[in-house]
Amino acid sequence: MVFNSVVFLFCFLPLGLLVYYLAPGGLKNAVLLLESLLFYCWSDSRFLPLIVVLVVVNYLAGLLMGSLPQGQPARKAVLAVAVVLSAGALVLFKYTAWLLDTLSGLSGLNLTGPAILRLLPLGISYYIFKLISYVADVYTGKIKPEQDFIAFGAYVVMFPQLLVGPIVKYRDIADQLHTVQNRCSLPKIQAGAEMFVFGLAKKVLLADGVGALWQGVIGVWAGNSQTTAGVGLANASTPLAWLGIIAYSLQLYFDFAGYSEMSNGLSKMMGFDCPANFNLPYISASITEFWRRWHISLSSWFRDYIYIPLGGNRKGLPRQILNMLAVWALTGVWHGANWNFICWGLYYFLLLTLEKAFLLKYLQKGRIWPHIYTLFLVVLGWGIFTANSAGAPLGLLLYKLFVPQGGVSALYFLRSYGVVLAAGIVCSTPLPGRLWAWAKAHTPVRLALLGGTAVASVAYVVAATNFAPLYANF
């Protein structure tokens, strides 16, 4: 079930909230857990046993580590077992098919493996990272292990974060999981509901709206077969190729940021304050800054559980660069089992290393050019990122972008998507935030904006066919 569907908005959400609000404080976690399991199993319950086993294993690992004194080697062993099992499940379900295909390609053998390993279990990339963050934090003593199995289960599978995160750490919401009285207050519910509406609008008005441009270029694909022909990247002119990946960059941002905002809004309505996952990434003045503003929950996970444990910047420059390499190779691979994601990760490793080595101090002095530099490289990065999708092979895309050439012009697409592109660009800046801050003090304006956005978004939800979030594939 996706948030941008009628069944979620007008059936699951009102009923789910009603039961949750009516439930006494002590039962709220149980209600959240049950609702989340229903949400998870909605159309496919095959992977339910997997998530149950992993939740039990990590819960027990937490308890076990908590019962052992700090510094005892057995603690490390427990951590290792929990992490290996969790990460192992991720590797097994996410990468086996790719590894087998790659091996088949190299060896000439026909290795297919079981069919179930060719399906990506819903939300696996997100809940496994939540689990690892939990056991790692218990191990380092940052948090006390969760005693209450229901509360722990509710944290891992809570439906607002189940499909595409954000990867909220247990320590960020542990207190609220144990708030029995007044967990949900009216101001919080109001703030959460507003956040949800604007998140929904970003997804259905902006992301889906601008996403049609890129589809007009590469066509609509189901796997490797084209269901609707576009102009074809091979026929596109250089300006159209650029316009296409700019549109894709906006689509990806509003798709994921909108979904994260819906998720955080829902969490807030249920009494949980989760850190923002995006902070206007496209206004960054360096790649370093960009990665502090884009998919914050993922970058902070890699920082806390890979980069810093490896030594971070405390063991000299060569070691630091090696640590960064590990982080960025893994960040690339996390997005999916494909070479283009690894290339994309290494691309950022190179850029960040260059900035760390010398570029950052020049960037900090500039005013305009650092923004142009950042946007150019980020948009190009999304070109590499999407190059695994059918219809946009990387070699052809780079050829179109960097060898100026004619072909199908960008005119029609500018004409038809100009307004939504402009809206997307404006919404990538702090302007709408400022407008909203002002509107909040003017009730009629606030209500008109909010009501209008909500009604318009529902119209797009009804008319569209529930475009699943792009990040559900990673």
Partner 1 sequence: MKNNRKNVLFAYPALSLLAALLVGFSLLNLFWPKRAQSDLENRRLAQLPALSVQTLLDGSWATGFTSYMQDQIALRDGWIGLESAMNSLLFQKAEESDILLGKDGWMFTKQFGISDATQKQLDKNVSAVITFAQRHPGQVSFMLAPSASVIYPEALPLGAPMVDENGMLDDIFAQISPYAQTFDLRATFTKNKADYLYYKTDHHWTTHGAYLAYQQLCAAKGLTPFDTAAHPAVEVPGFYGTHYSATRRWNVVPDTITYYPLENPMTVYQANGETDFSPLATETMLSTEKLSTRDKYAAFLGGNNGYSVIEGNGTGGILVVKDSYANCFVPFLTENYAKIGVIDFRNFSYGLDAMMESEGYDEVLILYNFQTFIADTKAFNISRPSAAK
Please identify every residue annotated as catalytic: 335
Is residue 175 at the binding interface for partner 1, with CB under 8 A as the rule?
no
Among 412, 425, 426, 435, binds partner 1 (CB under 8 A): 412
Please give the DSSP secondary-structure letter assigned to residue 236. B
Residue 267: Cβ within 10 Å count: 24
Is residue 121 at the binding interface for partner 1, with CB under 8 A as the rule?
no
Number of amino acids touching partner 1 (CB under 8 A): 58
Cα distances from 354 to residues 182, 349, 357, in angstroms, run 50, 9, 5
Q: In the complex with partner 1, which residue's Cβ is closer, 207 or 408?
A: 408
The amino acid present at 81, given as its one-letter code, is V
Return the C-alpha torsion angle 142, 82, 346, 377, nearest 10. -50
Closest CA to 185 of 350, 425, 21: 21
- Residue 403: Cβ-neighbour burial (10 angstroms; 0-12, 13-18, 19+): exposed
Rounded Cα gap, residues 472 and 161, in angstroms: 11
**Span near partner 1 by CB under 8 A; candidates 97-105, 161-169, 377-385, 403-411:** 403-411
Rounded Cα gap, residues 9 and 30, in angstroms: 22
Among 73, 114, 187, 404, binds partner 1 (CB under 8 A): 187
Among 115, 186, 368, 403, binds partner 1 (CB under 8 A): 186
**3-state SS, residue 231:** coil
Is residue 417 at the binding interface for partner 1, with CB under 8 A as the rule?
yes
**3-state SS, residue 284:** coil
Rounded Cα gap, residues 6 and 18, in angstroms: 17
Rounded Cα gap, residues 13 and 452, in angstroms: 20
Is residue 419 at the binding interface for partner 1, with CB under 8 A as the rule?
yes
Among 113, 316, 418, 430, binds partner 1 (CB under 8 A): 418
Residues 193 and 398 sit within 8 Å (Cβ to Cβ): no
Among 207, 250, 270, 450, binds partner 1 (CB under 8 A): 450
Q: For residue 400, how far is the Cα from the chain centroid?
A: 29
Is residue 195 at the binding interface for partner 1, with CB under 8 A as the rule?
no
Region 5-64 residues binding partner 1, contact defined as CB under 8 A: 5-7, 9-11, 13-14, 42-45
Among 62, 160, 219, 381, binds partner 1 (CB under 8 A): 219
> And the tokens for 32?
């959240």
Is residue 396 at the binding interface for partner 1, with CB under 8 A as the rule?
no
Is residue 443 at the binding interface for partner 1, with CB under 8 A as the rule?
yes
**Span near partner 1 by CB under 8 A; candidates 105-113, 227-235, 278-286, 334-342:** 227-235
Among 62, 153, 216, 244, binds partner 1 (CB under 8 A): 216
Q: In the complex with partner 1, which residue's Cβ is closer, 234 or 308?
A: 234
Q: In the complex with partner 1, which residue's Cβ is closer, 5 or 125?
A: 5
**Span near partner 1 by CB under 8 A; candidates 84-92, 226-234, 303-311, 330-338:** 226-234
Containing H/E element for 436?
helix 431-439
The residues that touch partner 1, with contacts defined as CB under 8 A, are 1, 5-7, 9-11, 13-14, 42-45, 186-187, 189-190, 193-194, 197, 209, 216, 219, 225-232, 235, 408-409, 411-412, 415-420, 423, 443, 446-447, 450-451, 454-456, 458-460, 462-464, 466
